[in-house]
Homo-oligomer: A and B are copies of this chain.
Amino acid sequence: MTIINFDHISYNPLLPEVKKAMIEAINKDYHNPSSMHKAGEQSAEVIEKARAAVAQLIHADSPKEIVFTSGGTESVNYAIKGGVMANTEKGTHVVTSNIEHNAVIRSLKRLKSSGLQVTSLPVDENGRVRPKDVADAITDKTILVSIMHSNNETGTIQPIEEIGKITREKKVLFHCDAVDSVGIVPVNVQTLNVDLLSFASNTFYGPTGMGGLYVRRGTRIFPLLDGGVQENNKRAGTENLIGIIGMGKAAELAVQHINTQYDHLLKLKNTLLNKLPDYINEYLINTDLKHSLPHVVSISIKYIEGESVVLMLDEDNFAVSTKSACATGSLRASHVLLSLGLSHADAQGTLVLAFGLENTADDVMKFLSSLKNVVTTLRNMSPLYKNK
């Protein structure tokens, strides 16, 4: 039986053209691009072609501003650790928000032992950082602001452009974790005023374990991976050529199709939101629908546990999630939902739905029927529901 995947934050299947490009690359046996002979030169050309495609996707001035990494997490670690370590003589203070991905939170925590001070800002009732809070939090010791482009559990998009104006004016380095946005919504590093921007290939249906960091020319940053002279001396290590080729092809396709894909995804989400009241009641929508990724919606269903819903929907061959896949091993309630002001009980009853290119309106309708059954069954077993 085919699984209907509504967990597209956690994984996107490779596009057929990406598969084709990667399989061709596997069969071609590209040599190490750093070697001196002509077998190496061909590989170097292929890498630069992919770099140009990625640069175009985020409107970088030059492909040289793109550093390929092993994924969004490495990009974030590189931006934060490399950005902080290279600028400690200027200060030891960083501004971030309470709803960042664990890659940001834990990278900053790692640096606290070296004396870094971190101001973590709350979000408003819609789950958005207030630009004024960022302005107020910046001191003359602030060396970095790190705010995500869109949240990976709610899909809510943050006011990055306005924050970027503030950091530009105050001459503070600005990192934006755009891992869940790049390739899904238009991201332009020029209008956003960011210095560092993290992204991941799988978000736009390229391979996992591949990503990139945009590093604006002139930005002072230390490498996270020291060693050889690859990636313009910014990231040592023999390149994952097959991954780079896959990511480059996925970026090319995203540039071409981002608008039609956006419309398709938004239509699925709107179908779900419009029909949902006909199937279940007593739920909260945690996503700021005015500012959100087209494909993501977070729903807290009262009187039930999200994990039970996920497991029962899994039986019906629907893949959904309760929170970030990166935090699956952890039993704690989502820090993102608690930051939004949800009670622990409501946070535990949360489903994150993230639609994908291969999903159809019919999938959504089937899902709603299945969800209705699951919710009814679980609520019938729930003492909370009976005693409400």
Residue ranges of A at the interface with B (Cβ–Cβ < 8 Å):
3, 5, 7, 10-11, 13-14, 19, 22-23, 26-27, 29, 31-32, 34-40, 69-74, 76-77, 101-103, 106-107, 109-110, 114, 200, 202, 207-210, 222, 224-230, 233, 236-243, 307, 310-311, 313-314, 319-322, 324-330
Contact = CB atoms under 8 A, between A and B. Distances in A.
Nearest to A319: B37
A321 B225 CA distance: 24
Given A14-B29, A22-B242, A23-B26, 4 more contacts: A11-B35, A35-B321, A70-B74, A77-B226
List the number of copies, as a whole number. Answer: 2
B228 A35 contact: no
A74 B225 CA distance: 6
B329 A226 contact: no
A202 B40 CA distance: 15
Interface centre among A69, A102, A240, A307 (most CB of B within 10 A): A240
6 contacts: A11-B35, A34-B325, A36-B322, A103-B228, A103-B237, A227-B326
A32 B19 contact: no
Contacts of A35: 7, 10-11, 319, 321, 325, 328
Contacts of A207: 240, 242
Given A23-B26, A237-B209, A321 B36 contact: yes
Contacts of A69: 70
Nearest to A314: B37
Contacts of A77: 224-227, 236
A240 B71 contact: yes
A210 B227 CA distance: 16
Contact of A238 (B32, B72, B229, B239): B72
Nearest to A240: B209
A110 B320 CA distance: 42
B310 A107 contact: no
A202 B325 CA distance: 29
Interface centre among A19, A36, A321, A327 (most CB of B within 10 A): A36
Contact of A326 (B73, B208, B228): B228
A184 B208 CA distance: 28
A253 to B, nearest CB: 16
Contacts of A37: 3, 7, 310-311, 313-314, 319-321
